[in-house]
Structure 1
C-alpha cells in the first residue's frame, strides 16, 4: 500500500483541492478515512465540490487542521463520486473512525438532508 495513502488516510483532516472550469483552485478541509488504496470522504450532494468533481476529477490533497491550514506536502489524485452503496459504506467508516462525534454528525446530516442528501467521494492518489 502507498505510504501517502496511509499517512493521509490516518490523519484527522484532509485538505481536498478541486478545480473550477477556469482552473481556479478551491481547497476544502474534510474528514477522511482510508479504505484499501483509496481515501474516502463525504459531502453534501449538491455542494460545489461535487459539481467540480463531476466536471473534472483532478484533485490535490494534503494533511491539514480543521480550519484547512495545510500541514504537509500536496499530492495529486483523481476523485470519483460514489453510488448509494459506496456512500453508505463511507458514512459507516467515518462513524467508526470519528466515534460519537462522527455518529452524531451523520445522524444530524441524515435528519436535515435525508438519506440522499450527502454523497461519498473516493480519491485515488496518482
Structure 2
C-alpha cells in the first residue's frame, strides 16, 4: 500500500517517533496536488513538527477527525516544504475543506490576537518511505 492511497481522505492519522522510540499519533487534514504525495499544514512549534525535524519517518493511516484509525498504517517520510509552497497548500485546503477551513482560520486568528502572536505554520510533504530511508531512520532511534 502507498501513501498515495490516502489522497482522497478528509483526515489522516500521522504517527511520529519520539526520542525514546515510542510513537505519538494525531489526526490532521490532508491535501494532495498530484495524487502521489500528501500535503499537511501544522503549527511550526507542534510536537509533531519537532519530532519530524529530528526523524522524518512517519506512519500514516486513514482516520476519523478524532484520530481513530480506519485502515492500516503506511510507512512514509515527511519533508518540510519551502515556505514558498505554503500558498499552494493553503489553496488546496480552501478547496477541500471550504467553510470548515474558514472557521478554523478564524479561530486561529482570534487566538493569535489574544496572544498577540502571529501563527506560524509549516507545510509537510509525505511520500512513500524507500527502503534506504527506512534503514537510515531506524539507525537514528
TM-score range, shorter chain: 0.7 to 0.9
1:32 alignment partner in structure 2: 30
What TM-score do you get using the length of structure 2 for normalisation? 0.79
- 2:18 matched to 1:20? yes
3-state SS in 2 of match to 1:92: helix
CA offset at residue 51 of structure 1?
0.6
Choose 1 or 2 for highest CA Rg: 2
CA offset at residue 26 of structure 1?
0.6
Q: Give the 5 Å matches for 1:63-74.
A: 63-74=62-73
1:117 alignment partner in structure 2: 120
Q: Distance in 1 between matches of 2:18 and 2:44?
A: 17
More strand by share: 1
Q: Distance in 1 between matches of 2:127 and 2:106?
A: 27
Q: Distance in 1 between matches of 2:16 and 2:37?
A: 17
Structure 1: which 4+ aligned runs deviate by more than 4 Å?
none
Over 3 Å counting, the alpha-carbon distance change for 1:24 and 1:119 in structure 2 is: same
1:76 alignment partner in structure 2: 75
Residue ranges of structure 1 left out of the alignment (5+ in a row): none
Aligned length: 123
Residue ranges of structure 2 left out of the alignment (5+ in a row): 130-141
Q: Distance in 1 between matches of 2:107 and 2:79?
A: 25
